[in-house]
Amino acid sequence: MKVAEHPRWFLVDTAATAMLNLESFTEGSSRDIRVTSWSGTLAASAKEVTIEDLEVGRTKVAKLALPAIDLSAIGKACGRKIDGILGADLLEKIGAQDAID
């Protein structure tokens, strides 16, 4: 997976919403967003970051706005830093959801 022509490490999670790691994507403006998880919906402070171009395989998406939060705990559990989560919403946008269903 590439963001702005740079290789990035994303965790694929078909039960999650796509998110970026705040450590990897520092640009953007802060605003409160609603985050939904298995335990419910809550307000969280996050930056909304617009990615100029995202490339997954042969598929490209331009001008993609995603929330960026601290994903260091998830990276620690994975054994390496991750740059984001490739969630169900983004999988659908790139046409991969049909392959999963």
* Fold assignment, 2-96: Cathepsin D, subunit A; domain 1 (2.40.70)
- Rounded-to-integer distance, Cα 55 and Cα 92, Å: 14
Q: What are the tens digits of pLDDT across the range 29-71?
A: 666 666 665 566 566 667 888 888 999 989 999 999 898 989 9
Please give the average per-residue pLDDT across 5-9, as a whole number.
94
In the structure, how many helices (H) and strands (E) does the chain have? Answer: 3, 8
Q: Where are the domains of the chain?
A: 2-96
